[in-house]
Amino acid sequence: MYQINSKEHPKLVEHKYDLNERKEILLSKLEYMLNYKIDITIESICKEMNICPETLRNWGFNSVVAEMKSKQKKIKLIKFKKNIVDSANKYINENKDTMISPTNIYEHLGVIRTVLWRSSPEITKLLRQEVVQHNMKIRKEQSY
């Protein structure tokens, strides 16, 4: 029994990269995923780096992934808002001669007003103002 316990243990395998190099590799992979619109998740970055989530956590990089994921979410929200506004303006321009209700715009956008309001209250306010201005213009033209 003593022989088994006193047996020398093999040296731990030296790591290929130090922690800073690993972080650089992680950041480059995250930038790639951000630029090519690949969803950033712990699972996807671990698959990309060929490591398990526990390893990523042990290296202390979960916060780096979370930060980049948050950045990606903000970028997506900005693009979503721009698409909503552009699509609404297009709808208003296509209906220059008819009165528009807010319901018509939200149906055209394929979005429920309350859902949009929760994520972007400024967009719902802008859409309401645009509809009011458009309808006032139509009323003014019809009264002449």
- Separation between Cα atoms, residue 61 and residue 111, nearest integer Å: 36
pLDDT attached to residue 7? 52
Kindly state the percentage of the chain with pLDDT values over 70.
88
Residue 98 lies in a domain: yes
Please, what is the end-to-end C-alpha distance for the chain in angstroms? 106
Domain assignment of residue 10, yes or no: no
> Quick one: which of 124, 140, 141, 138 has its CA closest to 88?
124
In a domain, 4, yes or no: no
Contact (CB, 8 A) for 99 and 60: no
User: Domains in the chain: how many in total?
Assistant: 1
pLDDT in tens, 95-113: 999 999 999 999 999 999 9
Residue 130 resides in a domain = yes
State which residues form the domain around 116. Answer: 15-143
Give just the sign of the alpha carbon dihedral 13, 19, 25, 26: positive
